[in-house]
Amino acid sequence: MLPPEGSMYTIFVDRAEAIIEVTLGGLMSVEEVDDYIADLKQDFVAHELRDYSMIIDVSACPIQPQDMIKRMGEHMALMPKAQALAIVTGSSLARMQIRRLFTQPYARIVASAAEGRAWVVLGTEPSG
């Protein structure tokens, strides 16, 4: 699922499974990262999430500018820790950038949303 026209992201909360599903698309500016994180924090509060898992689909994102990656890292350091984290991408270049950003032992890079859900719900290790 791609973000709606004019938006760089969508956030969906599956409260029953305590999973946040995010889809990012396009080149994001530092300001858009700030907006995304503010919306994400608002969803944490609105849905009273404490123990949660997260699937982030970046398969529609090109390689991001370093200032955006730096800002995302700054924000992530302050976020509540997830139980499990799956980042969906097919690009080998994006995988290298993602590995630098997501160093948590509970994070996995996956090839599809289904593989991501299998990781965050069942603990099934990704195949690739």
Of 6 and 11, more confident: 11
Residue 29, Cβ neighbours under 10 Å: how many?
A: 15
| pLDDT exceeds cutoff 90 at 127 | no
HEC string of 35-93? HHHHHHHHHHHHCCCCCCEEEEEEEECCCCCHHHHHHHHHHHCCCCCCCCEEEECCCHH
Write the pLDDT tens digit of every residue in 17-44.
999 999 998 888 899 999 999 999 898 8
CATH fold group of domain 9-122: Transcription Regulator spoIIAA (3.30.750)
Dist CA 68 CA 82 (whole Å): 21
- Name which of 5-9, 66-70, 104-108 the model is least confident about: 5-9
| pLDDT exceeds cutoff 70 at 1 | no
Cβ contacts of 27 within 8 Å, gap of 6 or more: 61, 62, 64, 65, 68
Dist CA 69 CA 56 (whole Å): 15
Write the pLDDT tens digit of every residue in 37-89.
999 989 888 888 888 999 999 998 888 888 988 998 898 888 888 999 999 99
Q: What is the mean pLDDT of the chain?
A: 88
Q: Locate the domains of the chain by residue range.
A: 9-122
The three-state secondary structure class of 109 is strand
Measuring CA to CA, which residue among 38, 29, 31, 36 is closest to residue 64?
29
Which pLDDT score, from 0 to 100, does residue 54 have? 95
| pLDDT exceeds cutoff 60 at 2 | no
